[in-house]
Amino acid sequence: MKQEEILQKLSQIALFDELKEREADLKRLLDIIKIKSYPKGAVIIREGDIGSEMYIVYRGSVEIQKQTRAGDTYTVVKLKAENNVFFGEIALVDDDKRSATVIALEDSEFLVLNKEDFLKLGKTNPEIALPITQAIARILASRLRKTTMDMLTIFDALVNEIQS
């Protein structure tokens, strides 16, 4: 796997948008990235587990699965490496209780960023960690807005139900 290829991949990931023109910083980030391979069918992360790693799909594809309150499993989405997708990013700033299970749909490779390494990098190179942390904060803010909207939707449905 050539370093240039991985750098190219990192520059395409939305989380690293502010670093894409800063090759030296991307290279510094690359130093703490590990490459992990999973065979087809392997569980990469499991819903409910506590995790400390973020994954970028480098090659292959994954399926995101969730469980209903009744305990049934359903597929949320299937993602391919070409779509420049990542998951588990909250683990970089906090112990992340995984909200979904991710399964490799084929033999796949991932660029893996560990929380401990990321926090160390942040201490020595805040100019790299800050934009990434800000991007994670934006993701969290967006999810919070969605949760608020969801609550209002549930509230409206409840009121409609009582009125009917």
Partner 1 sequence: MEYKKLKNHLIICGWKEDMEDILLDILRVAPDTDAENIVIVSNVEPERVEALKDRPQLKGLKFVRGDYFAETSLLRANAKTAKKVLILADTLESNAPSEVDSKTVMTVLTVKALCKDVYVCAEILDKKYESYLRHAQCDEIIFSREFSRRVLANTSATNGMSHIIYELLSQEKSRSRIVTHPIPSEYVGKTYGEFKRAFQGEPQRILLGILENTGSPNRIKMESLREAQKTSDVSQLIINLQKVKELEVNRPYLLPDDTYTIQKYSLAILLERVGA
Using CB under 8 A, list all residues that contact partner 1. Answer: 66, 68-70, 72, 74, 76, 150, 153-154, 157
What is the smallest separation between the CB atom of 102 and partner 1, expressed in angstroms?
14
Q: Which is nearer to partner 1, 74 or 124 (CB)?
A: 74
Q: Which is nearer to partner 1, 22 or 66 (CB)?
A: 66
Q: Which is nearer to partner 1, 36 or 143 (CB)?
A: 143
Q: Which is nearer to partner 1, 7 or 100 (CB)?
A: 100
Q: How distant, in Å, are the alpha carbons of 36, 57, 66, 102, 103 from that of 76?
A: 23, 17, 7, 10, 12
What is the smallest separation between the CB atom of 65 and partner 1, expressed in angstroms?
10
Beta bridge partners of residue 86, listed in sequence order:
56
CB neighbour list of residue 92: distance below 8 Å, 6 or more residues apart? 54, 113, 115, 118, 132, 133, 136
What is the smallest separation between the CB atom of 86 and partner 1, expressed in angstroms?
18
Sign of the CA dihedral with 18 first, then 23, 27, and 33 last:
positive
What is the smallest separation between the CB atom of 78 and partner 1, expressed in angstroms?
14
